[in-house]
Amino acid sequence: PRMLGLASVALAVLYLVTGLAALHGGRGDVPQARVLLGLAASFLTVAIPVQLGLHGITLAWAVEGVLLLWLSLRFQSALARLGGYGVLGLATMRLFARHLPLHRGAFDPVFNAGFATWMFVIAAMGVALLLTRETGADAGAPDRAIRPLLAAVALVLLFGVLTSETSGTFGQQAVRADRAGDLVAAQDARRVGGLAVSVLWTVFATALLAAGLALRSHPLFYCAYGLFALTAGKVVFWDLSSFSLPYRMLAFLALAVLLTAGAYLNLRFRERLATREAA
């Protein structure tokens, strides 16, 4: 298998060099260069699983997807752009196939290979969205349909992995306390973990509101509204059920402040939208 991987890499390099030579030669044969560069990308995609390990495969596919998107813009190739989206899709599917559960044992919060791999792929999606932001306005480009889907997947993955990492961190503390026989500490860790997830959701919803304001995006605002409602329900009916009255009052006060901030952002969004429509 190693020799097969090396052979695939060698062929990828050969086709890459040949494609660049065809592009920068005297005739500047762009169609031929596109075919050769496409073959180079194909052989590289095949070589990655053979040569790299568990996390390396996922990371390499994410990088390759971004590079293909950049090359597609450089050479004005819609086919290469589809290939870039496809490789990013492979990296995303591999996250679910090989990187779940996020942690199979004890772990260091945030600074661990599993969390870093998920965040790297999500970041690659963000870079892809930035690279293709201009092409999405073209009605004939494939990006018009793919970019919204990519943005939605990136947001869902980010929300899920942050929630899982936060919950897992406090859950790990609770398990350690249980093993040590400290039931009070275990219960406190679970309580704090639930509130930490609620705080995370509130911050995430606020970020969605701010992004919706900056981009004038109705979907982002609607997602933020839904997440605020879900968080409020979780806090009221789940998190605070085991806390004393003073802590409940403080939690409700913090929730009221955040909801007020959300209402302010909503008002600003409607004002900006009205100004845009009037113009």
- pLDDT tens per residue across span 56-68: 888 888 988 998 8
Rounded to an integer, the average pLDDT of 73-84 is 81
Last residue of a domain, one of 124, 158, 192: 158
Residue 80 has pLDDT above 90, yes or no: no
More confident residue, 86 or 241: 86
Looking at the domain assignment, is residue 101 inside a domain? yes
Q: Residue 155: is its pLDDT beyond 90?
A: yes
- pLDDT of 77: 76
pLDDT of amino acid 253: 79
Question: Are both 223 and 258 inside the same structural domain?
Answer: yes
Q: What is the pLDDT of residues 129-152, one digit of tens each?
A: 999 887 755 545 677 889 899 999
Lowest mean pLDDT among 11-15, 125-129, 140-144, 164-168: 140-144
Q: Is residue 99 classed as helix, strand or coil in its secondary structure?
A: coil
Residue 196 predicted with pLDDT over 80: yes
pLDDT of 255 above 80:
no
67 plus 138 within the same structural domain: yes
Q: How far apart (Å, rounded) are the C-alpha atoms in residues 24 and 121? A: 32
Q: 255-263: long-range contacts at Cβ-Cβ below 8 A with a sequence spacing of 24 or more?
A: 255/202, 255/231, 258/202, 258/206, 258/228, 259/228, 259/232, 261/206, 262/205, 262/206, 262/209, 262/224, 262/228
- pLDDT (0 to 100) of residue 163: 96
Q: Average pLDDT over the chain, rounded to whole?
A: 81
- The band of 85, judged by pLDDT with boundaries at 50, 70 and 90, is very high
Residues 264, 188 share a domain: yes
45 and 57 in a common domain: no
Residue 207 shares a structural domain with residue 274: yes
Residues 33 and 75 in one domain: no
What is the distance between the alpha carbons of residues 131 and 68, in angstroms, rounded to a whole number?
Answer: 11
pLDDT (0 to 100) of residue 54: 67
Q: Residue 140 has what pLDDT?
A: 56
User: DSSP label at 242?
Assistant: G
Whether residue 2 has pLDDT greater than 60: no
**Domain encompassing residue 18:** 1-51
Q: Is the dihedral of CA 85, 91, 95, 98 positive or negative?
A: positive
Is 163 contained in some domain? no
Whether 127 and 195 map to the same domain: the answer is: no
63 with 6, same domain? no
Please state the length of the chain: 279
Average pLDDT score over residue span 222-249: 81
Same domain, 41 and 60: no
**Average pLDDT rounded to a whole number, residues 84-112:** 89
- Co-location of 217 and 265 in the same domain: yes
Q: Is residue 113 part of a domain?
A: yes
Question: Does the pLDDT value for residue 103 go beyond 80?
Answer: yes
Total structural domains within the chain: 3
* Residue 136 resides in a domain: yes
* Least confident interval from 51-65, 156-170, 171-185, 233-247: 233-247
